[in-house]
Amino acid sequence: MKDKLYSISIAIPTFNEENNIKNCLDSIFRQDYPNELLEVIIVDGNSLDNTVKIARDFQVKILNNDQRDPEVGKMLALGKCDTELFMYLDADAELAHRDWFLKMVRPLMEHSEIVASFTRYLPRRSQPAINRFLSYDPLQCDPVYEFFSTNINKTVREKKKDFYVCEYTKEKIPPAAMCLFRRKILWTQIKNMPKFMDLDNLVILVKKGFNKFAYVPETGIYHVHVDSLSELLKKRLRNLHKVYLPSVQDRHFRWFKLNSFLGIFKILFWVFYVHLLIPELIRGIFKSFKYRDIACLYQPLVSLVLTDGILAGFIFSKTGRRFLIRSLFFEP
């Protein structure tokens, strides 16, 4: 690695995160990386608890986000920073190892064509069982999203010593949103966007020819995504109604492709398959032995509940029904 390390900005959107923010910031400031090269920006949505007070115990910048929209907050932070690299981190996430930045920066320093690096999520025994189950997937995808998304391995083009070089295409982009980006390239491509739409940003970059990414699996992130299945379902439905459907016609990244017969067949196949229950139960048992964790027995239940919940979310929403009809008749 070259002697000169890159400067990094880390944006952390917050709202009432007093139970999480200290662990998150501790994981950043204990890094074996020069503190003077790290800029941590807390973008707070007027928290009603001690989030900001706790954050001020660290060397951070505080920005106000009146809209309480994490995507707006990330965009606000990106527009304010002037470092070489940029990433966001959820307030309930922690960097798993002290050399996290050193390993994540390495691909960007050694290969100028790589636009961003990303890592995987890791399970922790102290986490709720449902969260551990999700975290065995490298990108913390639930079974539904896992089925409809691109596997990282399908994009790998070269194996380096500590990372993989991935090459994306418009049709093959893994849902790895939490990346360490080359800030200037990212800002140039999305500066006119009203929000920092994580997965849409990847599509925009790929369309502009920035299609090389580095996967660094050994670094890892601990992320407490949900505590229960009901919370997971609520999050999926909230994202469907507040994020996905209101802007569905303008989205660049699509989980479900309804504008082709193959896409429709894939959805129908999944719905039929998941209601058989037995195949997903077998997968859950296999994972339980593989990872030595009975949390993986959530497999059939999560698959069924989320599938039916998302279907109901589309059917009982006027916008969702309109989108389904348009897509099925291949209307723009």
Residues 215 and 234 in one domain: no
Per the structure, the complete domain to which residue 253 belongs is given by 229-328
Say which residues have a Cβ less than 8 Å from residue 2's Cβ, sequence separation at least 6.
109
pLDDT 10s digits, 10-29 = 999 999 999 999 999 999 99
| Residue 1 in domain | no
Residues 130 and 180 in one domain: yes
Torsion 251-254-255-261 (CA) sign: positive
Q: What is the pLDDT of residue 130?
A: 97
Residues 248 and 306 in one domain: yes
Residues 273 and 302 in one domain: yes
Report residue 164's pLDDT band, with 50, 70 and 90 as the boundaries: very high
* Beta bridge mates, 180: 117
Rounded mean pLDDT, 133-160? 96
Closest CA to 53 of 41, 62, 65: 62
Q: What is the pLDDT of residue 2?
A: 47
Domain count of the fold of the chain: 2
- What single-letter DSSP state applies at residue 313? H
| Residue 150 in domain | yes
Residues 158 and 301 in one domain: no
Residues 181 and 51 in one domain: yes
Residues 277 and 323 in one domain: yes
Residues 130 and 235 in one domain: no
Average pLDDT across the chain, whole number = 93
Say which residues have a Cβ less than 8 Å from residue 321's Cβ, sequence separation at least 6.
314, 315
Q: What is the pLDDT of residue 1?
A: 46
Residues 160 and 251 in one domain: no
Distance between CA 24 and CA 95 in Å, rounded? 7
Residues 181 and 236 in one domain: no
| Residue 2 in domain | no
pLDDT 10s digits, 56-77 = 999 999 999 998 889 999 999 9
Residue 107 has pLDDT above 60, yes or no: yes
Residue 124 sits in a domain whose CATH number is 3.90.550.10
- State the pairing for strand pair 38-44/60-64: parallel
Residue 140 has pLDDT above 90, yes or no: yes
Rounded mean pLDDT, 282-292? 98
